[in-house]
């Protein structure tokens, strides 16, 4: 059982396809793991066991007939509660959505289903994906599987905790300011934040159903897994144009060029001017850089001379303030959550980080947004990216 729950998704798919194990047996192994550990982790907030069992049974019957649904045929996965899932409650940890059951899948979810995946349930998260730890008004706080007294991070804390604890081999997340990367780091799994518009955000909250489509910058769909191969596989399945999101370009995935590593020039850095890097992390980065150098690649320790984390954070904060003004409702639940986050970033943690990440300085954009200010911030962002 334990060997199944910690096997990578692509290996499970092969085992099911080769009839070494049935889809039902794999699902049962994950359900045992969920029932054993989830009460302490609070990673899975909605379990869809009955429908998952039906889907797994159908997957086995299809294979018996010689049918293969796709590269994830019969593999159980979980989905962050921010993505619409047809027939499965989708709350984003937000009280007004506590009984919301979408009729249609988010695009990324639909593509994983089309590849044969079995959705076991939804994973817990920060309310409306707006926090660095996964707390909300509907479900208990997500705890870190390595130490229950620690946070799993946010906003995709349930996704990262579920993957790390063997409750799921693969999960979808989203990221605008660290929501995939930070929980992946905290829980010791792989997480990938992709380029804007590489993957369709259709069916993802925010926006809350009924709100206008405003999150057109920075918000991306990502994935979390225990292996790079699974990250690559998930990306290949969910990327690409979407008729429901015409701003996602029909750009094909480029195959590896085959260029020898000796012809590659790679930049790396192990420090930031404003904040210290943990000694253990720095040692690992140095070790990785040396391994790459040993292959013959040209590797250079480099940071753009005009790059400042505080400047990048300031542009990000202003952009987030403008776009979230219209993507999220102004009700008591959301206002309370926003004020709590502003208070915490202004009063808790490292003094230097508080100075950089204090959201209270973006109150003018939140309270008095202007079209001119929005376009000025867009321009600053474009210029900073270009430099």
Residue 318 to residue 17: CA distance in whole angstroms = 49
Q: Is the pLDDT of residue 225 over 90?
A: yes
Higher pLDDT, 340 or 24: 24
**Residue 80 among the catalytic residues:** yes
361-378: pLDDT as tens digits:
777 777 788 889 888 999
CB atoms within 10 A of CB 96: 14
pLDDT score for 321 = 82
Instruction: Indicate the domain borders of the chain.
Output: 2-238, 261-301, 309-386
Choosing from 80, 159, 168, 193, the catalytic residue is: 80
CB 320 within 8 A of CB 377: no
CB atoms within 10 A of CB 5: 22
CB 281 within 8 A of CB 288: no
Q: How long is the chain?
A: 387
Query: Could you tell me which residues are beta bridge partners of residue 123?
Result: 44, 80
Reduced 3-state DSSP string for the chain: CHHHHCCCHHHHHHHHHCCCCCHHHHHHHHHHHHHHHHHHHCCEEEECHHHHHHHHHHHHHHHHCCCCCCCCCCCEEEEECCECECCECCCCCCHHHCCCCCCCCCHHHHHHHHCCCEEEEEECCCHHHCCCCCCCCCCCCCEECCEEEEECCCCCHHHHHHHHCCCCCEEEEEECCCCCHHHHHHHCCEEEECCCCCCCCCCECCCCCCCCCCCCCCCEEEEEECCHHHHHHHHHHHCCCECCECCCCCCCCCCCCCCCHHHCEEEECCCCCCCCCCHHHHHHHHHHHHHHHHCCCEEEECCCCCCCHHHHHHHHHHHHHHHHHHHCCCCHHHHHHHHHHHHHHHHCCCHHHHHHHCHHHHHHHHHCCCHHHHHHHHHHHHHHHHC
Residue 7 to residue 9: CA distance in whole angstroms = 7
From residue 286, alpha-carbon distances to 34, 129, 133, 170 in Å are 37, 33, 29, 29
Among residues 241, 88, 79, 315, the alpha carbon closest in space to that of 174 is found at 79
Report helix angle 228-238 to 107-114, nearest 10.
110
Among residues 160, 166, 156, the alpha carbon closest in space to that of 188 is found at 160
**Residue 200 among the catalytic residues:** no
CB 166 within 8 A of CB 33: yes
CB atoms within 10 A of CB 101: 13
Architecture of domain 2-238: Alpha-Beta Complex (3.90)
Choosing from 22, 134, 155, 156, the catalytic residue is: 155
Q: Is the pLDDT of residue 303 over 90?
A: no
Mean pLDDT of 158-179: 96
325-334: pLDDT as tens digits:
777 777 777 7
pLDDT score for 91 = 97
Q: What are phi and psi of 83, to 5 degrees?
A: -100, 135
81-127: pLDDT as tens digits:
999 999 999 999 999 999 999 999 999 999 999 999 999 999 999 99
Residue 45 to residue 136: CA distance in whole angstroms = 11
CB atoms within 10 A of CB 384: 17
Query: Given pLDDT bands bounded at 50, 70 and 90, which one contains residue 357?
Result: low
Residue 251 to residue 257: CA distance in whole angstroms = 16
254-261: long-range contacts (C-beta < 8 A, 24 or more apart)? 260/296, 261/292, 261/295, 261/296, 261/297
Choosing from 22, 156, 159, 179, the catalytic residue is: 179
31-63: pLDDT as tens digits:
999 999 999 999 999 999 999 999 999 999 999
């Amino acid at each position: 059982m334990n060997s199944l729950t910690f096997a990578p998704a692509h290996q499970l798919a092969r085992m099911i396809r080769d009839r070494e194990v049935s889809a039902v047996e794999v699902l049962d192994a994950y359900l045992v793991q969920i029932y054993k550990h989830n009460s302490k982790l609070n990673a899975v907030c909605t379990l869809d066991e009955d429908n998952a069992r039906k889907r797994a049974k159908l997957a086995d019957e299809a294979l018996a007939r010689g049918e293969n649904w796709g590269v994830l045929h019969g593999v159980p996965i979980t989905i962050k509660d921010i993505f619409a899932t047809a027939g499965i409650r989708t709350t984003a940890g937000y009280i007004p959505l506590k009984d919301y059951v979408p009729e249609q899948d988010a695009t990324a979810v639909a593509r994983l289903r089309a590849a044969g995946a079995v959705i076991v349930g939804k994973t817990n998260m920060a309310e409306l994906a707006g926090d660095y730890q996964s707390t909300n008004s509907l479900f208990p706080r997500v705890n870190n599987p390595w130490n229950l007294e620690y946070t799993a991070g946010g906003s995709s804390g349930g996704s990262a905790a579920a993957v790390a604890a063997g409750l799921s081999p693969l999960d979808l997340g989203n990221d605008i300011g660290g929501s995939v990367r930070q929980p992946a780091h905290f829980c010791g799994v792989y997480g990938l934040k992709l380029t804007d518009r590489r993957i369709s955000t259709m069916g993802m909250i925010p926006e809350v159903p009924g709100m206008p489509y405003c999150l057109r910058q920075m918000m991306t769909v990502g994935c979390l897994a225990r292996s790079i191969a699974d990250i690559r596989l998930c990306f290949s399945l969910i990327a690409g144009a979407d008729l429901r999101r015409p701003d996602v370009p029909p750009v094909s995935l480029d195959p590896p060029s085959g260029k020898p590593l000796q012809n590659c020039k790679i930049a790396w850095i192990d420090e930031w001017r404003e904040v210290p890097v943990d000694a253990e992390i720095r040692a690992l980065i140095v070790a990785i850089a040396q391994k790459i150098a040993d292959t013959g690649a040209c590797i250079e320790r480099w940071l753009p001379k005009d790059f400042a984390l505080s400047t990048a954070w300031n542009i990000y904060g202003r952009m987030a303030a403008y776009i979230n003004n219209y993507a999220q409702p102004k009700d008591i639940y959301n206002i309370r959550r926003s004020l709590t986050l502003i208070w915490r970033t202004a009063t808790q943690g490292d003094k230097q980080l508080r100075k950089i990440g204090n959201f209270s300085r973006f109150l003018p954009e939140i309270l008095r947004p202007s079209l001119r200010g929005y376009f000025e911030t867009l321009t600053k962002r474009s210029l900073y990216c270009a430099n």
